[in-house]
Amino acid sequence: MEITPTDNLVLMRTEGVTVRQGDKLVLQNINLDVRAGEILCVIGPNGAGKSTLIKTLLGLIPPTTGQLYRRANLRIGYLPQRLTLDPVLPLTVGRMMTLTITRTPAEVLTALEETGVGHLLNSPAQGLSGGEMQRVLLARALLRNPDLLMLDEPVQGVDFSGEMELYELIGAIQKRRGCGILMVSHDLHLVMGSTDRVVCLNRHICCIGTPAVVTRHPVFKRLFGERALAAYALYMHTHDHQHDLNGQIAPQKGSCVDATCLSISDS
């Protein structure tokens, strides 16, 4: 776990990691490098072991066999798949930010502002919408100044327009901070544009590579079908906007981000 791979750009490495839960083989022979500064996206159908992979990398689930290496003193920011707060627990957003670390209120506010939710600092955490909660959790992860962000289905429970913005935000954070991002997702069409490498997972690694390579892979087509390819193709034609300094979308002349979004959601 603590052994440092010789390549310093590698943040984490798995060698032949297999995870068995009861009689079920959840992950089989996973060989994967997580590199500094890249956006690595894990996609796969339901039950493919995506969350298990992220939890294994985090050290929450011990591998049954195989080795897991992690760069020494690696700082990780983790965004769990779902966090629902019981309303009976009175917790403000600001308090939630500092559950396991000590930070000044100013630092907390800066992190919340980076994800666009600075105004929620003193709000009750259980009243947040799905999108707000994800942004708060993202800010929470950023507060640890991570080398690597691990995001498990970061847009779950977020409405469609919010999804788009959240992915843009994640991309902007990566550009600004240069941290590595490992993201698990099942809606690939929005993810792929800014992704450096895609891992197609179905209990084992089916294929791995740049989005363009993976989408041409026969296994990918079998897993996700032509519909996904069509969505991906649409995405590849939507580079019609830029980011301003805050990471917000700054549309260019003649762009129609919304129209494209709608056509994807309809497909």
Partner 1 sequence: MFEDFFWRAILAGIGTAMAAGPLGCFIVWRRMAYFGDTMSHSALLGVALGVLMEINPVWGVMGVTTLLAIFLVFLEQRQWISGDTWLGILSHSALSLGLVVLSLMVWLRLDIMGYLFGDILAVGIEDLYWVYGGGILVLSVLGLIWRPLLALTVHEDLARAEGIPTLKIRFIFMLLIAVVIAIAMRIVGILLITSLLIIPAATARRWVHSPEAMALGAMGAGVLSVFMGLWASLTIDTPSGPSIVLAGTVLFTISHLWPNKNGVNQNH
Q: Which is nearer to partner 1, 95 or 186 (CB)?
A: 95
CA angle 222, 185, 68 (to 5 degrees): 95
Per-residue DSSP letter, 86? -
Q: Applying CB under 8 A, does 178 fall inside the site for partner 1?
A: no
Q: Does 64 contact partner 1 by CB under 8 A? A: no
Buried b (16+ CB within 10 A) or exposed e, 218-237: eebeebbeeebbebbeebee
Contacts of partner 1 in 75-114 (CB under 8 A): 76, 78, 80, 83, 85-92, 95-96, 99-101
23 sits near partner 1 (criterion: CB under 8 A): no
Nearer to partner 1, 94 or 247 (CB): 94
Please state the length of the chain: 267
SS3 235: helix
Residues 42-61 that bind partner 1 (CB under 8 A): 55, 58-60
Q: Which residues does 235 contact at the CB level (< 8 Å), separation at least 6? A: 189, 190, 192, 193, 264
Contact call for residue 72 and partner 1 (CB under 8 A): no
> How far, in whole angstroms, is CA 74 from its chain's centroid?
17
Looking at the Cβ atoms of 64 and 126, the one nearer to partner 1 is: 126
Smaller CB separation from partner 1, 72 or 99: 99
Residues that bind partner 1 (CB under 8 A): 55, 58-60, 76, 78, 80, 83, 85-92, 95-96, 99-101, 124, 126, 144
